[in-house]
Amino acid sequence: MSRTASQLASIAALLRQETTLALATVNERGEPCVAPLFYIADANLTLYWLSSAASLHSLNLARNPRVSATVYRHAETWKQIRGLQMRGQVAAITQPERRKALIGQYRERFQLGSVFRLAISQCSLYAFRPECFRYLDNSKRFGHRFELIPTQNDWERFRAATAHLGERSASSLLERPASLEAEKTSDGSED
């Protein structure tokens, strides 16, 4: 596996393990705003989330789709800090079949069931394709990081390097992380 493909694999692993991104947008006065959002990610490292079109970050996206986002692990010591900073552009997903499939995966990952069906049907679905990544992992050493702006060739090598893992691994970015399983109570409901 090439160095870049290995770096993309590290990014994919972090996105698979975590559930929440912090999305940074800019309001109409040019002030930064940050919102925490549940997300799912696909095999191409595109992140998707649902939000009300009336939310502040959605209104900001309507004016300016350029964003920054971060995903990081909960840490109690500096050695545990591991995270990912990203920049790119966001677009709303409006194609009915694609929207239906992605919302189904989102509902499954977070076990939303039918309780949220009406609220979800009224939400906008957004896609964020990062153009550049900055990855930090202090468990390797203090300040261990890499920055990456993948080219088309990098993406092709990454897909080729992970193709042997099969369809199941490619879709595993959408699976419910094990950390959420621990939040279930004995009767199977969420806390």
Residue 70 lies in a domain: yes
Six-digit token string for 80: 């545990």
Could you give the number of structural domains in the chain? 1
Residue 185 lies in a domain: no
Give the C-alpha separation, 88 to 133, whole Å: 9
Give the C-alpha separation, 41 to 127, whole Å: 9
Residue 183 lies in a domain: no
Instruction: Specify the pLDDT at position 165.
Output: 56
Question: What is the domain range of residue 10?
Answer: 3-177
CATH number at residue 90: 2.30.110.10
Q: Kindly provide the residue ranges of all beta strands, DSSP E only, lying in 19-143, ordered along the sequence.
A: 20-26, 32-38, 40-41, 47-51, 66-72, 82-93, 124-137
Which pTM was predicted?
A: 0.82
Residue 175 per-residue DSSP state: S
- The 10s digit of each residue's pLDDT in 20-79 is 999 999 999 999 999 999 999 998 899 999 999 999 999 999 999 999 999 999 999 999
Instruction: Specify the pLDDT at position 164.
Output: 62
CA–centroid distance for 161 within its chain: 21
Residues 14 and 69 sit within 8 Å (Cβ to Cβ): no
Q: What is the mean pLDDT of the chain?
A: 85
Tell me which residue has tokens 């900001």: 60
